[in-house]
Structure 1
Amino acid sequence: MNKTKSLKFIADCHLGKLAKYLRMMGFDTLFFNSIDDDELIALSAQEERIILTRDKLLHENKTSNTFYLHSINHLEQLRELNRAFLIKNKREKPRCILCNVTLKEINKKEILDQLPKKVVKYFDFFEVCSKCGRVYWHGSHFKRMMNTIESI
């Protein structure tokens, strides 16, 4: 884990896919489908978060701490963030891609009734979100996301 101050982000309403990848990398990343720019700026200041945006007007607002993303592609956006903040080297414990809560390891026996039969057969390591209860394992979706992250 990174010993320096952790990076915290707010992804604006057009960056939901990027927010999920940042959460998988362990970055505290807020995302709202809809939020007023003034609320976004206030939350950023209050919680010392960097606003990730493709909105030039928001980025040019001198009262906010923003990072403007040039690309519309989430992979390129990850690369832009890596160039600016070295995010690949600052990864932390994964977070729930829905709730943004740090995942906790859970014993397979505690969640057997929630798992598909093939998952029970082939996987032994599981994590759970303490807020929404979503269970995660390192299946094909996880591996695709990790391959994407590694490619930055």
Structure 2
Amino acid sequence: MEFIVDSMSGKIAKWLRILGHSVKYVSPKEDDSSVLKLAGGAVLITRDHELLERARKMNLEAHEVPQDLMAAMVSISNLGIRLRIDPRGTRCPFCDEPLSIVRNREIGIELPREVIRGHRRFLLCRKCGKVFWFGSHYWKMLGTLARVKEKREEMRIGGGL
């Protein structure tokens, strides 16, 4: 699934990329007409109600997400997005490039010694050069996804979905 995410929903753009989806993040400089032109064939994610209505009038697939990140994550999970990080399919949260699984000698940049000692595999963005590893930030992301799943289940049981 490919997405267009407007500038009001940048955190969602990063999460979608981490979850393996291609995302075109639209800068705040782009006007609504430009966003709608880009949205053909992709799913538009926005917090802008007016943009949402315009997209729907053009028969584009568009979804409005709440401002609260947890509620927004629950909302996107209802689009059939799996709330699972697969290192083989994740994308760079900054530039949308697919990440490569590499060993530390393949990275080409200096990392802190404790990071290299503590990890055998890394994720490398060959486009922007960013390096990611399975450290505390990764475990926090997994915790966030678990809370989103719980919230979604609570809403389903409580009749909110």
TM-score range, shorter chain: 0.7 to 0.9
Gaps of 5+ in 2: 149-161
Q: Please, which of 9, 15, 21 is the counterpart of residue 21 of structure 1?
A: 15
SS at match of 1:88: coil
Instruction: Find runs of 4+ consecutive structure 1 residues off by over 6 angstroms.
Output: none
1:111 Cα deviation after fit? 2.6
Q: Deviations over 1:21-75 (max 9, x none)?
A: 1111001111133221111111111xx1111011111111111431111x21112
**Which structure's CA Rg is the greater one?**
2
Q: Please, which of 5, 24, 27 is the counterpart of residue 11 of structure 1?
A: 5
Count the aligned residue pairs: 142
State the percentage of identical aligned residues.
Answer: 29
Gaps of 5+ in 1: 1-6
Change (3 A) 1:105 1:59: same
8 Å contact from structure 2 (residues 22, 96) kept in 1: yes
Higher relative contact order (CA 8 A, sep 6+): 1
8 Å contact from structure 2 (residues 26, 35) kept in 1: no
- Residue 135 of structure 2 aligns with an amino acid whose one-letter code is G
CA RMSD of aligned residues (A): 1.7
Counterparts of 1:1-152 in structure 2 under 5 Å?
7-34=1-28, 35-45=30-40, 48-61=41-54, 62-63=57-58, 64-69=60-65, 71-83=66-78, 85-88=79-82, 93-111=89-107, 113-152=109-148
1:112 Cα deviation after fit? 6.6
8 Å contact from structure 1 (residues 125, 137) kept in 2: yes
Moved more, 71-80 or 142-151: 142-151
**Take 2:70 and 2:110, find their aligned partners in 1: how far apart are those partners?**
32
